[in-house]
A and B are shown apart, each in its own frame.
Chain A
């Protein structure tokens, strides 16, 4: 399987094609429903975000608490469609990658192509496997959101499928 380092490099993104399986390693941010809402509320008010989105990859996930001796508990992807109303705005701010599960809206597909970004599908329901691939975890923002807070993860060999590539290739459209 092709190994892709994170943060993503533009030349790597350009070569990814929908349908191919990849192993992702490097750093990502987590963020799901509440974190997305809060990010967009802060942007609406003109406030500075507590982290930069430039070149980042966001993993739509809310982990289980980490058991003793582990960086992270079970942590599979959540349904990406719930983040569709927020994603184009984040992509316009420099977000390059998203990891989640399931199809995206037409607006998100168009924004991925416009911003030369990529959407990876992790396998939903494989929480233990993905949680085990998180080697380091650090709280970045919104601790009051508990499992929905933003964490920075260092991941190793995250198995994913390229679901939507930067040329509009889409595994869900057959």
Chain B
């Protein structure tokens, strides 16, 4: 058994929040540069992609968040079952880290009561997902999730008869209906299978994978490739200005489901893919 103090977890989450909100992931930057190269010079799409890349430089230079929507603080904690957590309650440690980081680094506080719309003023609570895994380490992933794109996400409860083509149609339809609203080129996280709730979580988890990575299952990777090709044929383009790149990637995660169902969750991420990981 390995003892891990929550002070260490809190320090790690604080640093993940800082890094994530100030930088695009290297895989995302590479994908945006590639997209820019594919657009006609002087086109509105090229203007949008150029602005986005210049923005990433400005953010790094000025120590400013790449996007003002520093998001809902989504934290995934994979906790080795041979660890023992000491100190405060884990949820409090994560929320304390989020609260301090959002205040210290001038990140926007975007969390409010859903009915009164009164802001909690410190960006808590975080959405903390814990998972017990083998081993004696804790793996932390932080994803500041913007809501312009979150709003465009959808969940489908397909019948098994819809099959692979139904899955692909659902993914493409979600991106088509989102149009220019979620800040394309988007990154598309897809959950396939599970239950109503675990399917949505799979889609979120898919977004923590690097842009351009593929599912190790070949049949799933084939769905990713086909979705991406069909999405980029929609012609929505960067910021909805038209063009060749409507999505920089599609990531699918899969889980067994019930014999009566085929859940498909599509979680949309804007082109500002921000995600940081640490292991304790």
Per-position 1/0 for B43-77, Cβ under 8 A of A: 01001100110111011001111111110000000
User: Please, how many angstroms separate the alpha-carbon atoms of A92 and B183 in the complex?
Assistant: 29
Chain B interface, >50% SS class: loop
CB closest chain-A residue, reference B121: A146
- Most central of B56, B69, B235 by chain A CB within 10 Å: B69
Contacts of A66 in B (CB 8 A): 106
Asked if residues B64 and A73 are in contact (CB atoms below 8 Å), the reply is: yes
Per-position 1/0 for A119-162, Cβ under 8 A of B: 00101111111011000000000000111100000000001010
Per-position 1/0 for B238-254, Cβ under 8 A of A: 01111000000000000
What is the size category of the interface that chain A forms with chain B?
35 or more
Shortest CB distance B239–A (Å): 6
User: Please, how many angstroms separate the alpha-carbon atoms of A42 and B27 in the complex?
Assistant: 47
Chain A interface, >50% SS class: loop
Asked if residues A161 and B47 are in contact (CB atoms below 8 Å), the reply is: yes
Question: Which residues in chain B, 170-210, are within 8 Å of chain A measured between CB atoms?
Answer: 179-183
User: Please, how many angstroms separate the alpha-carbon atoms of A79 and B149 in the complex?
Assistant: 9
Asked if residues A73 and B63 are in contact (CB atoms below 8 Å), the reply is: no
Shortest CB distance B36–A (Å): 12
Question: Taking beta carbons and an 8 Å cutoff, which residues of B are in contact with A?
Answer: 44, 47-48, 51-52, 54-56, 58-59, 62-70, 106-110, 117, 119, 121, 148, 151, 179-183, 235, 239-242, 270-272
Binds B, one of A2-10, A43-51, A56-64, A109-117: A56-64
Asked if residues B59 and A103 are in contact (CB atoms below 8 Å), the reply is: no
Contacts of A159 in B (CB 8 A): 47, 51
User: Please, how many angstroms separate the alpha-carbon atoms of A88 and B242 in the complex?
Assistant: 26
